[in-house]
Chain A
Amino acid sequence: MCSTLYSFTAKVILMMESTCLNSIKDESQVLIKKGENIKIFRVKKGRDIFMDNTKFSLDGAIGHPFGTTFDVVKGTLVKVANGSNKEIESAGKDTEGSQLKDNRDLYDLNSNQKLSKEEIERLKKDGVSGNELVEHLIENSLTFQKKTEYSKEKYIKKKKRKHVLQLTILRPTTRLLCEMYSKSAQKICYLRVDTLAQMLTYGNIHAGITVAVVDTCQGLVVGAVMERLGGFGQVIHLYHESIPNRTAVESYDFPVEMMKTLYSFPLNQVNTLTLKKATHEVNNECISNSDETIKDTSEQMDLEPDASRNVCDALIVDKNDISEKRTDVDSDANKLCEKSVGKNKTEGKRTHDESERKARKEQRAKEWKDARDLLERGQLDCLIIASKLHPTPIVRALMKFVAPSRPIVVYSQFKEALMDCGVSLREEGGMVNYRLSETWLREYQVLPQRTHPKIQMSGTGGYLFTATTLAKISVMTE
């Protein structure tokens, strides 16, 4: 059965390769990289985007392969010819002896530049490209030739940043999304790229397996797992909020066929799960029960059945918690407030909403049922937890659904939470190969004669706890 499944999905993959992956299309999700700065956009024909205070349209990228570099010229994208970039970089490079220069003769004066502001503006208006402009600036700089090679490069980089809006359009991948999120790490619970990388290998994530993922990292972990499954196998996202927050998954732009491998199940229904033996009747009962909850709360909160509860829970925690977390929770609460304010405004469309809501509820009940069936089979190949929640109760509730000799991987920003997890699981038994770890990532500047670790580094990428499950019959102590 597996091999036919493989060959079917293989077709899907190949289709995906040829149609989606290689060229930029209308409606594609694209990562725009400008220097160290990465942002995600969806291409929409005829619509402008804002980046670096500049308004421009992405239409010019359509049809080009991912990985193409463009200049922004008068609000449109113009493809940069290969290698044209290099010339300007080497314009500043002269040969031997440059290392010996120092800055004793250099003064910081505006008059070092012969071109006046007005002249620069005029050149720009005349349609001189950013790169050409930088060349003009170099020619007209009185001090440029006196600079050391290193400061020449720095000068060019600085001027380019100011005058050239040059960007590369890339296909969203886990690597690049991690780079993007590193600038706002609080959104992904401070999970760093090397930590996520460890999670995927220690989880032995590969094509054909079934993985349960508890993710409050905007769906980044769910997306990373889906990328590694490549459409083979299943991912169940166990979500915490009232509706799954999976902004990151959308960023990947997975084809529809691949999205079908994603299932969702709310964490607040986990205690209703029973291993395998559950009869149909029991299942149905559970579903209708959960429908009940939706009905109850939705009276007050409209489409956000559990929102009120979540806020309460969060605030209670907040009281005893360190101040750092307060901002986090507050902003969550604010978000929810905003949402409900927005809802009130649309009150007029009530009746329309009513039927839509019903449809959505049925849809959700079906999704839950599928996810429930998968979980209750007790044949999960991996359990991954990456959340802001205390992991121990989650692991304990879900570990019985994981098949024997499979990895579980738990991430937390805090080592203590994982220590609790480790001690409590060891006490309970049923697992071996416990490991609590942290990785450390140091980046380097590599330049001739100037190689050294980067001045800034990330102080933490969080902690990992991993273990391997055992067959259920055997009760074991390590």
Chain B
Amino acid sequence: MNFCKYKEIIEEGDTVILYLGFNNMHAITVKKGETFQTRYGALRHSDLIGIKFGGKVQCPKGYLITLHPTPELWTVNLPHRTQILYTTDISLVTMQLELRPGSVVVESGTGSGSLSHAIIRSIMPVGHLYTFEFHPQRAALAEQEFQNHGISQYVTVAHRDVCSDGFGIENVADAVFLDLPCPWLALPSAKKALKQQGGRLCSFSPCIEQVQKTCEKLTELDFVELSTMECLVRNFDIRTISLPIADLGPHSGEAANNSSRQKAVLLDIGDADKTQNTSNDENQMKVNTRYHQDLIGQKNETSFCFKSGVPPTQMPGHTGFLTFATLYPQ
């Protein structure tokens, strides 16, 4: 299969994302004779062959959905060999590096290939990615993955220490991306790798001290438009919330006539409308409609009911700082 070209029907050797729920997906490579254990029992790979991406497949205790892989789905399902970049940061990197079909990109380290897949998707079919990794096994596994995903023609994996040996290429890249412990050591060579007409650079670092050193080196090397940023994502759960209405006890004085709690609520809402010059009848009607369908939600005697986008109580508060810079034509 080609990761970057949608196809309709699942065949042997394809990567399929099995979807069981938002936080419950698995990436598998279809191989006749193998089975995969899921919450719904064993899935025979051969049952996948011939069905549609976006279709469903029956397991003993329920069905799963078969999704076509995308770099985004791969990022949340890939085998971790290192820390990886997630889609929020990847999106910003792709945008800020101005990647598009035809871009030539240099990346280090390859790590688990999470970013690499997204880069390849954005620059193919006429661009190229040179990705550098000094850990021999990681480099080899990444190369194997690109092959399995049918995208190896767009990428060259090099096993190399870019901090001590440099990238070894000159005047080829439109963009450079660094995710290294000491990115400043790779900067002089990164500058050489960029095209003479200039280009963009990004460095991802979790710590501010790394950013500080990187920015100093970038300035020294005549990079301009330096800009460091942080991007976080917040997901919302759409929930129906029902807040109990407090029992504030019986009214005294004037309001004692409207002793039931329901009337108290009505009055409460009605008061807001009194400022407008409406007849009593009209007012009463308005009160009733407001009572049944408030602008924000619904109220009854005992509760106020509404839909809300609820953020998680815990969420990642930091991934890393992204530092971008431009090299103008030399």
Q: Chain A interface (Cβ within 8 Å of chain B)?
A: 2, 6, 10, 13-14, 17, 22, 65-69, 82-83, 86, 168, 173-175, 178, 193-194, 196-198, 200-202, 204, 206-209, 227-232, 381, 403-407, 415-416, 418-419, 422-423, 432-444, 446, 448, 451, 463, 468-471, 473-474, 476, 478
Q: Are B102 and A17 in contact (CB under 8 A)?
A: yes
Q: Are A201 and B19 in contact (CB under 8 A)?
A: no
Q: CA A173 – CA B54 in complex, angstroms?
A: 34
Closest residue of A by beta carbon distance from B218 = A446
Q: Are A444 and B71 in contact (CB under 8 A)?
A: no
Which residues of B (17-57) have their CB < 8 Å from a CB of A? Answer: 19, 21-22, 52-56
Which residues of B (190-245) have their CB < 8 Å from a CB of A? Answer: 197-198, 208, 211-212, 215-216, 222, 226-238
* CB proximity of A61 to chain B, nearest CB, Å: 13
Contact of A194 among B8, B92, B235, B330 (CB under 8 A): B92
Q: Are B231 and A440 in contact (CB under 8 A)?
A: yes
Further pairs besides A197-B94, A437-B233: 6, Cβ < 8 Å: A66-B197, A82-B328, A206-B4, A208-B4, A228-B122, A230-B102
Q: CA A22 – CA B198 in complex, angstroms?
A: 10
B56: chain A residues at CB < 8 Å are 470-471, 474, 476
Q: CA A69 – CA B327 in complex, angstroms?
A: 12
A82: chain B residues at CB < 8 Å are 222, 328, 330
Closest 4 interchain pairs by CB?
A404-B54, A230-B101, A405-B54, A197-B95
* CB proximity of A337 to chain B, nearest CB, Å: 31
Q: CA A68 – CA B327 in complex, angstroms?
A: 11
* CB proximity of A56 to chain B, nearest CB, Å: 21
Q: CA A419 – CA B237 in complex, angstroms?
A: 9
Contact of B67 among A193, A202, A405, A448 (CB under 8 A): A405
Contact of B92 among A197, A207, A232, A381 (CB under 8 A): A197
Contact count band on B: 35 or more
Contact of B98 among A175, A202, A440 (CB under 8 A): A175
What are 22 of the A-B contact pairs (CB < 8 Å)?
A: A17-B102, A82-B222, A173-B98, A174-B95, A175-B95, A198-B233, A206-B101, A230-B102, A404-B53, A405-B53, A405-B68, A433-B67, A438-B234, A438-B236, A439-B232, A443-B228, A468-B54, A470-B56, A470-B65, A471-B52, A476-B56, A478-B21
Quick check: is B136 within 8 A (CB to CB) of the other chain? Answer: no
Q: Are B65 and A67 in contact (CB under 8 A)?
A: no
Greatest chain A CB density within 10 A among B54, B90, B232, B309 is at: B54
Q: CA A17 – CA B233 in complex, angstroms?
A: 35
Interface code B120-141, partner A: CB below 8 Å = 1, 0 otherwise?
Answer: 0110111000000000000000
Contact of B231 among A6, A10, A204, A441 (CB under 8 A): A441
Interface code B90-112, partner A: CB below 8 Å = 1, 0 otherwise?
Answer: 11101110101110000000000
Q: Are A439 and B121 in contact (CB under 8 A)?
A: no
Q: Are B222 and A419 in contact (CB under 8 A)?
A: no
Closest residue of A by beta carbon distance from B97 = A175
A69: chain B residues at CB < 8 Å are 328
Q: Are B233 and A446 in contact (CB under 8 A)?
A: no
B307: chain A residues at CB < 8 Å are 419, 423
Quick check: is B321 within 8 A (CB to CB) of the other chain? Answer: yes
B54: chain A residues at CB < 8 Å are 403-406, 468-471
* CB proximity of A410 to chain B, nearest CB, Å: 13
Q: CA A381 – CA B70 in complex, angstroms?
A: 12
Q: CA A443 – CA B212 in complex, angstroms?
A: 14
Contact of A67 among B66, B197, B215, B309 (CB under 8 A): B197
Q: CA A391 – CA B218 in complex, angstroms?
A: 44
A443: chain B residues at CB < 8 Å are 227-229
Q: Are A207 and B125 in contact (CB under 8 A)?
A: yes
Q: Are B222 and A448 in contact (CB under 8 A)?
A: no
Quick check: is B80 within 8 A (CB to CB) of the other chain? Answer: no
B66: chain A residues at CB < 8 Å are 405
Q: Are A448 and B216 in contact (CB under 8 A)?
A: yes
Q: CA A423 – CA B306 in complex, angstroms?
A: 13
Q: CA A165 – CA B216 in complex, angstroms?
A: 26
Q: CA A202 – CA B95 in complex, angstroms?
A: 13
A231: chain B residues at CB < 8 Å are 101
Quick check: is B5 within 8 A (CB to CB) of the other chain? Answer: yes
Q: CA A200 – CA B96 in complex, angstroms?
A: 12
Q: CA A34 – CA B164 in complex, angstroms?
A: 38
Contact of A10 among B91, B121, B125, B233 (CB under 8 A): B125
B95: chain A residues at CB < 8 Å are 174-175, 178, 193-194, 196-197, 200
A231-B101, A446-B212 in contact; A22/B197 too (CB < 8 A)?
yes
Q: CA A434 – CA B124 in complex, angstroms?
A: 28
* CB proximity of A401 to chain B, nearest CB, Å: 14
Quick check: is B329 within 8 A (CB to CB) of the other chain? Answer: yes
Q: Are A436 and B211 in contact (CB under 8 A)?
A: no
B122: chain A residues at CB < 8 Å are 206, 228
Which residues of B (294-324) have their CB < 8 Å from a CB of A? Answer: 307-309, 321, 323
Q: Are B91 and A197 in contact (CB under 8 A)?
A: yes
Q: Are B124 and A439 in contact (CB under 8 A)?
A: no
A197-B94, A202-B72, A229-B101 in contact; A436/B236 too (CB < 8 A)?
yes
Q: CA A86 – CA B208 in complex, angstroms?
A: 25
Quick check: is B173 within 8 A (CB to CB) of the other chain? Answer: no
Quick check: is B88 within 8 A (CB to CB) of the other chain? Answer: yes
Contact of A440 among B72, B234, B328 (CB under 8 A): B234
Quick check: is B87 within 8 A (CB to CB) of the other chain? Answer: yes
Q: CA A206 – CA B215 in complex, angstroms?
A: 32
Q: Are A415 and B329 in contact (CB under 8 A)?
A: no
* CB proximity of B197 to chain A, nearest CB, Å: 6
Q: Are B309 and A175 in contact (CB under 8 A)?
A: no
A208: chain B residues at CB < 8 Å are 4-5, 125
* CB proximity of A424 to chain B, nearest CB, Å: 11
Closest residue of A by beta carbon distance from B209 = A451
* CB proximity of A210 to chain B, nearest CB, Å: 10
B309: chain A residues at CB < 8 Å are 415-416, 418-419, 436
Q: CA A82 – CA B121 in complex, angstroms?
A: 35
Q: Are A381 and B215 in contact (CB under 8 A)?
A: no
A381-B6, A406-B6, A474-B56 in contact; A13/B234 too (CB < 8 A)?
no
